[in-house]
Amino acid sequence: MENKTLKENAKEYVLKRTLNVTDLDKVDLSFPMENRTGIDKEGNNFEYKVIVMNEQEYRVAGTVLGEIQKILKLKPEAKFVKVTSSGSGLNTKYEVEYVEEESELPPTK
């Protein structure tokens, strides 16, 4: 078995990073969630939740879960939502909208 060169490995390298649910056109509410632990700038551990789709992780903020909970109280049959955000860092605000199952959304980003 032959080892690959640094150049070959670099060409195949894919940066593994967590995206955000706002990067999805719509979010399927049936996806299982997983817990993750990260380290902030000060070196402190923090926990966050993700959904995994096609081997890519998408972070789900706690405020997004709260907004989905509100939607489910009004529409218990909801299967999809669209999540958008404004601001950045600790000032990020999330908006969650109910999406019809058949709805076609324009691609994001």
Q: Is 20 exposed, middle or buried (0-12, 13-18, 19+ CB in 10 A)?
A: middle
Pick the range with the lowest mean pLDDT from 7-16, 25-34, 67-76, 99-108.
99-108
| Among the listed residues 51, 5, 11, the one whose alpha carbon sits nearest the alpha carbon of residue 32 | 51
- What distance in Å separates the CA atoms of residue 109 and residue 51, rounded to the nearest whole number? 19
| CA distance to 4, 18, 39, 96, per residue, from 53 (Å) | 29, 11, 23, 19
- Tokens describing residue 93: 């605000």
Phi, then psi, of 91 in degrees rounded to 5: -95, 15
Give 8-64 pLDDT, tens digit per residue: 988 888 777 789 999 999 999 999 999 999 988 899 999 999 999 888 899 999 999
Q: What is the pLDDT of residue 102?
A: 62
